[in-house]
Amino acid sequence: MTRAEKALNQYDEVEEQLQESFRPVIPDPEFVRQLYHRLTYKPAMVVERRSDAEFLLAIAFGVLTGAAVILLVKRLVEALLKRS
């Protein structure tokens, strides 16, 4: 018996064990219909976009926060250098 035949025989044994272990399932037709509908039709969901004003406000807030951090670090470095 070749290696390929042994491998096929092992697969056949596993398949046979699985067939004996599991019972066939008959799904609920309503569940199948709903699942089919959910998978094939586009949802009626609308994603809201942020307005340009909100985007610009977020950018401005980020720039101001960055500038404040830079000024704070600059003053801290100057204060530490004066002590030395």
DSSP string, 26-46: ---HHHHHHHHHHHHS-----
Going from N- to C-terminal start, the domains of the chain cover 3-43+51-83
* pTM score of the predicted model: 0.40
- Exposure pattern of 48-75 as b/e (b: 16+ CB <10 Å)? eeeeeeeeeeeeeeeeeeeeeeeeeeee
| pLDDT band for position 70 (cuts 50, 70, 90) | very high
Q: Per-residue pLDDT tens for 13-32? A: 888 888 889 888 899 999 99
